[in-house]
Amino acid sequence: MITLTERQSLILKAIVRDYTEGGNPVGSKSLVQELPTKVSSATIRNEMARLEDLGLIVKTHLSSGRMPSIKGYRYYVDHILKPEKVDNKDLKVIQHSLGGEFHKIDEIVAQSADILSQLTSYTTFTLRPELKDSRLSGFRLVPLGNHQVMAILVTNNGDVENQTFTIPNDITGDELEPVVRFIDDQLVGLPLQDVFRQLNQEIPLKLAKYLRDPDGFVDIFGRVLSKAASERFYVGGKLNLFNYTDQQSPKELQSLYSLLDQTDSLASVIGSPGQHIQVRIGNEITNDLLKNYSLITATYDVDQHGQGVIALLGPTAMPYSRMIGLMGAFQRELAGKLLDYYRYFDE
């Protein structure tokens, strides 16, 4: 395990700060002016040589300055970093953006990805609170004419999902009414997972007494139910990802962009964050496409309604102290907004 002296830690901290803020290698002369204790340029060069031997900083080919290595960023995050307090301006942006009127949980979660992206200029991901305890609280079919119907499904969390479908010419609205009543009588109040189970087992047989061919309705109901229960990541600032990549191959860039649209791939990359903010750097991220990036993740807790996820993807040379401070504030504000939403809905 690497152990640094206080002076070495101060030098590494200054190199990380200067490089992430300015993007230029840091030399000993500039550090002379920045360190809180007076030391000579020669002393700083000796300490920088020691940090280089430890693999925490690297020398560039273009100048005598140094920049942090992946290992250096890791040491800095684990042992030196202190989260920066969020300034009032950023906090007001978060609170104002989350203070609007929202009709669905997904609207809040989607908006939060955009807010965090705008504040950081990075790519962000948000995942709504887990849905394992969601229950079906209502189902309706609304005729739209020309054999089109809108299927509307409501959960106890206040989520409303709808999809429009075309029904066969030989099925009338009158025939569908008893089917909707059956759903209300038999399935409302059940957890969505139990509804899925019955949909795959008992429901088709039970619906046979109402419909000559229940498969079409089962498909309609199953699709809107899947939409309500699906795990969805919302992405903010997709194009920001390309501001920090050295990958020039069009194929690699295409793969990188398409990654952002694949829920399963994103779930694999983000993993299972804990309540505490976690930072993964470079090859610590499970996808080779992201080896030149850093990923900051955390959960936000909404009491009995479960936990959601927020994540931030940016360059390894990011201002970690500010980003972690923002993530902490965002955790609190988003959880508070969702708790207010659920509280209002429960009333």
What domains appear along the chain, each with residue ranges and CATH number?
6-80 (1.10.10.10), 88-130+232-346 (3.30.450.40), 136-229 (3.30.390)
Mean pLDDT for all residues in the chain: 87
Kindly indicate the confidence band of residue 248, based on its pLDDT and cuts at 50, 70 and 90. Answer: low
Residue-wise pLDDT tens digits, 46-88: 999 999 999 999 987 766 789 999 999 999 999 999 999 999 9
Q: Reply yes or no on whether the pLDDT at 235 is more than 60.
A: yes
Query: What are the tokens at 326?
Result: 């923002």
Give 208's contacts (C-beta < 8 A, 6+ positions apart).
214
* Range 293-321 average pLDDT: 92
Higher-confidence residue of 169 and 312: namely: 312
What confidence score (pLDDT) does residue 131 get? 61
Number of neighbouring beta carbons within 10 Å of residue 92: 12
Least confident of 67-71, 105-109, 205-209: 205-209
The residues that bridge with 151 in the sheet, in sequence order, are 141, 163
* Range 309-326 average pLDDT: 95
Give percent above pLDDT 70 in the chain.
94
Instruction: Residue 140: name the closest of 181, 100, 99 by CA.
Output: 181
What confidence score (pLDDT) does residue 117 get? 96
Residue-wise pLDDT tens digits, 276-292: 899 999 999 988 889 88
